[in-house]
Amino acid sequence: MPYNWGYAARWPLHAQQQAAAPGYNVFVQAAMQAAQVPAPFQELPLVPELAEEGDMINDFKVGCDPEFLILTPQGGTDYAMKYFPHYGEIGYDHGGRIAEFRPGPSKGVLPIVKKIQTLVNKTTAPGKLRAGAICNGEPLGGHVHFGFSSFTVKPPAGQGTKQGHMMNERGVKVTKALDALTKTLEHLDILPKNESVQRRQGMYGYGAYGDVRDCNGHMEYRTMASWLYDPKVAFLCLTAAKLAAADPDGAYEALNGCTSFKALGNWIEQYGNKDVNAKRAVEKLVDKGLPYVQVDPTVDFKGRWGELGV
C-alpha cells in the first residue's frame, strides 16, 4: 500500500489561522501568496521509496521528517520559507519558520540516513543549521513514521492523540514502547535531556509523551527531539525506534525505567542476528561507548554530515 510519507499538509490551515491574527508578519503573508499554498490537507505526490538489503525484523516501512532551524549570524531565526518550498524533500513548516527533511520511506534505516546526508549537502541556505529540541522558542521534532495504522478509526488529517482519538491495540503497545525508548535516550543525553524538558513545558506541549498522529493512514510518533545534529545519533534513534515498533512488548520490558547505556545496548544487541540495522548499531555505535553518541545539539550540523560514522 503506498504511503504519503511526511507530507501531512497540515501547515496551511495553521498558517491561515496565524495570518488572520492582528500584526502577523506581512512578509509571511506575501510569501504564502507567492508560493500559492494549496488547500489544507490535500493529498500530495508520493515520495520515492528507498531500499536496503539484509535481514530485518520489521514487516513495515519507516519514514521521518526531522525539523531544523536556519539561524542568522546574530543567532536569530531566518525564515525557512525564504529558501525552500512548502512541499518537497526539503520543505518548510510552522508557518514558514522551520525547515524539515523528508526522505523517502524504507524498510531499513541506513538508506534513510544516507538520503538525509544527500539532503543536508543540497541545503544551500546561509547561516547555521540547528536541530535539537528547542531553539529561539521554536520546538523541533524528530518525527518518526511507521507503515501501519495506529488508530481504531482514521482521524481527520493532522489529528491524533492530542485531539482525543483512540489508538488501536498495536498503536497503544508501540507508543508505550517508543515512550520508554525516548525517556531512555533523553536520560542518557543522547537526545538532549534539558532541551527536551524545556520543549514539553512550552505553551503547546510539543514533545509530550504519547503524541501520535495519523499521517495518511500510517503512524507518526512525534515525541522525539530532532536528532539531526549528528548522523550517528540519527541512525541510533531511527534504528531503536524501528526495533521498538517491531517488538513493542520486548522493548517496553527492557526499556521501561531504563537508565543504563549498557542495558540499552544489550536490548539492541539481541536483535543483531536478525536485523542488519541492529547489528550495525552495535558494531558502529554501541561498542564505542556512551560518549560517542552524546553530541552537542547546538552545533551547526552541516559539518557533521560529511561522514556518517555508521
Q: How confident is the model at residue 52 (pLDDT cuts 50, 70, 90)?
A: confident
Q: What is the pLDDT of residues 187-237, one digit of tens each?
A: 999 999 999 999 999 878 899 999 999 999 999 999 999 999 999 999 999
More confident residue, 39 or 103: 103
**Mean of pLDDT over the chain:** 87
Decide if pLDDT at 26 tops 50.
Answer: no
Q: How confident is the model at residue 16 (pLDDT cuts 50, 70, 90)?
A: very low
Q: What is the pLDDT of residue 35?
A: 40
Q: What is the pLDDT of residue 72?
A: 96
Query: 118-145 b/e with 16+ CB inside 10 Å = b?
Result: ebbeebebebbbbbbbbbeebbbbbbbb
CB burial of residue 299 (10 Å; 0-12, 13-18, 19+): middle
Q: How confident is the model at residue 49 (pLDDT cuts 50, 70, 90)?
A: low
Q: What is the pLDDT of residues 252-276, one digit of tens each?
A: 999 999 999 999 999 999 999 999 9
Q: Which three cell numbers stand for residue 26?
A: 506581512
Q: How confident is the model at residue 24 (pLDDT cuts 50, 70, 90)?
A: very low
CB burial of residue 53 (10 Å; 0-12, 13-18, 19+): exposed
Number of domains present in the structure of the chain: 1
Q: What is the pLDDT of residue 23?
A: 38
Decide if pLDDT at 13 tops 60.
Answer: no
CB atoms within 10 A of CB 270: 16
d(C-alpha 32, C-alpha 36), whole Å: 6
On whether the CB atoms of residues 176 and 262 are closer than 8 A, the answer is no
Q: Which three cell numbers stand for residue 112?
A: 534513510
For residues 24-49, average pLDDT:
40
For residues 139-148, average pLDDT:
98
Residue 34 domain-assigned (yes or no): no
Decide if pLDDT at 34 tops 70.
Answer: no
Residue 278 domain-assigned (yes or no): yes
Q: How confident is the model at residue 131 (pLDDT cuts 50, 70, 90)?
A: very high
Residue 176 domain-assigned (yes or no): yes
Residue 178 domain-assigned (yes or no): yes
Residue 45 domain-assigned (yes or no): no
Residue 161 domain-assigned (yes or no): yes
Range of the domain at 255: 54-293
Residue 38 domain-assigned (yes or no): no
Q: What is the pLDDT of residue 157?
A: 86
Q: What is the pLDDT of residues 58-94, one digit of tens each?
A: 999 999 999 999 999 999 999 999 999 999 899 999 9
Residue 222 domain-assigned (yes or no): yes
Which pTM does this prediction carry? Answer: 0.86
